[in-house]
Structure 1
């Protein structure tokens, strides 16, 4: 399988696809039409040498994914306002918006996005890092083995994360998001396996992918266990501080693994990728054909899949000729 370099996210009734600095959001509107927005996002760090440094690129990628996720979710949600909203109130808000200049509006939107991303990070750290640590402290009454406590903390963190993912999958709206998540993966798998990007081909492609954000988060949880097993300090306050300080490092290491997994078919890498792929059975669902059409629209807006697929076929043909001559 050849690496395409494109990635995406599912949003409300839609899919976002990103290729380098260009990204597109395709949304199935209530009237059945597909709305498409294509934009550029150069990232929080403009210097390419810095943003491409191992470990650091994972930290930047994680923050940027959160930012884009909020931005694209806001765009998709704008098509699904509550019908009972008073029309006069909407008109009033529109008038107030027009008072702002375009530059002021962009600045206001940027601040709101930044605030939402910051709040999301703080909440995630509190639930998935700090809470498991304090729960694990309880077990110190029964054992003085620091490594055992670290493993228990990691298992608690995994249980909370998997439980959260499974619980929200029961919500109808989230179930549809998971279906669009499946459409996103199937579109990428389709072209990475050298098939034309059609509804029929996408439908028979796998909904699991090694470069998935779900796999990334699971790898973060697993790698954190090994980090904290071998970093021991007596002070409880310092232990907590270290957990917070090491989050970017753990995220960076996890990103490097996901990046390697996406480019490699090594048996060991495939084995280590299995837990993330298994979790994707929860976070992705088989999409409907109209969802696949949305995924295809988002891919075509940012990626020349026809040239890419043709290159794959030419490579396969050359390899076949070489093996045949031997």
Structure 2
């Protein structure tokens, strides 16, 4: 009879080919857009969208990057630049998907338009997730159920309202039909990436059987940002006001909000490293603690896709990878590769 250690070694050897194949799997990320999906790999990304005619149209673009310098690829320095470049490329992909749908009011976005769009998006994010929770926490102080900005209870209320606004925003937009379609494509993106990372043939059937939830999702990243911000604000804002507190009340709260905005840089850096760490964990209680909240939240930001939506995701994956498929066979429906004129 084989000893227990020997049987464990034998089982490990049997798993070795699959483990080697999985470790060699290229990292792919994506984003759902209007009637389509953007898949990014390496220095470029593919945008696949369902044209009103029914055809799948795929276009390839270079990835706009802020992390080409070796220093900005270092852990804890790359998080904020990655956040900005993801926002830039995401806006470009959304704009391009609208063009594929034949929206005559849409044109390729120019540099100044992109900058203005980014500034408006950042302004709305600051208003919703920094200024509004801060104002509501002041209201709790005025009602006598919270302390001042120097104390812990103020920041607990602030964090509570951040979470409520975030969850409420996602829940409300899920009722918009077009956004619901985007959430379905989001699910198709996750299923397709799961099928690719799982090994073997990647087709509609393989992807359909996978989970629509993925630990590397940007939704999880945003949740980590909110959780880390609650902790850092509760610790660092009182510390700042202990060192220097303006005499004017308005100036004190203006300083606090400005400091919170500055903290976005280290918060995004920590959140980025945390999500990468959580994705690398193979299992266990710690992995569950880190992954479960984000996976639960993804039940709101993803929906079960249909076969046609998975076909779009497969086309995006195939074109994003090019020849670097790690030995996997990716079976796609017919699609049209459209060349795009570069400015």
TM-score band, normalised by shorter chain: 0.7 to 0.9
- How much is the aligned-residue C-alpha RMSD, in angstroms? 2.1
* Structure 1 unaligned spans of 5+: 98-105, 311-326
Secondary structure of the residue aligned to 1:230 is helix
Within 2, Cα distance between the matches of 1:249 and 1:81? 41
- The answer (yes or no) to whether the contact 2:215–2:294 under 8 Å persists in 1 is yes
Tell me which stretches of 4 or more aligned residues in structure 1 moved more than 6 Å: none
Is the counterpart of residue 118 in structure 1 residue 119 in structure 2? yes
Q: By how many angstroms is 1:225 displaced? A: 0.7
* Structure 2 unaligned spans of 5+: 1-21, 246-251, 330-343
Q: 2:99 aligns with which of 78, 100, 123?
A: 78
Aligned match of 1:259: 276
Q: Output aligned runs, 1:1-326, within 5 Å.
A: 2=23, 4-47=26-69, 49-81=70-102, 109-141=110-142, 142=144, 143-144=146-147, 146-231=151-236, 232=238, 233=241, 234=245, 235-267=252-284, 268-303=286-321, 304=323, 306-309=325-328
State the TM-score, normalized to the length of structure 1.
0.83
Q: By how many angstroms is 1:40 displaced? A: 1.2
- The answer (yes or no) to whether the contact 2:156–2:234 under 8 Å persists in 1 is yes
Q: What is the count of residue pairs matched by the alignment?
A: 289
- The answer (yes or no) to whether the contact 2:67–2:82 under 8 Å persists in 1 is no
Within 1, Cα distance between the matches of 2:124 and 2:192? 32
User: Which segment is superposed worse, 297-306 or 200-209?
Assistant: 297-306
Within 1, Cα distance between the matches of 2:192 and 2:309? 11
- The answer (yes or no) to whether the contact 1:192–1:309 under 8 Å persists in 2 is no
- The answer (yes or no) to whether the contact 1:196–1:306 under 8 Å persists in 2 is no
Q: By how many angstroms is 1:44 displaced? A: 2.7
Secondary structure of the residue aligned to 1:307 is coil
Change (3 A) 1:196 1:69: same
Q: By how many angstroms is 1:236 displaced? A: 2.3
Within 2, Cα distance between the matches of 1:59 and 1:293? 33
- The answer (yes or no) to whether the contact 1:175–1:285 under 8 Å persists in 2 is yes
1:103-150 superposed Cα distances (whole Å, 9 cap, x missing partner): xxx8x7122112211221121111111110111012223243711211
Structure with the bigger percentage of helix: 1
Q: By how many angstroms is 1:10 displaced? A: 0.3
- The answer (yes or no) to whether the contact 1:10–1:16 under 8 Å persists in 2 is yes
Q: By how many angstroms is 1:239 displaced? A: 1.5
1:10-42 superposed Cα distances (whole Å, 9 cap, x missing partner): 000000000121100000000010111012124
Change (3 A) 1:34 1:181: same
Secondary structure of the residue aligned to 2:78 is helix
State the TM-score, normalized to the length of structure 2.
0.79
User: Which segment is superposed worse, 299-308 or 257-266?
Assistant: 299-308
- The answer (yes or no) to whether the contact 1:191–1:305 under 8 Å persists in 2 is no
Within 1, Cα distance between the matches of 2:41 and 2:212? 20
Secondary structure of the residue aligned to 2:71 is helix
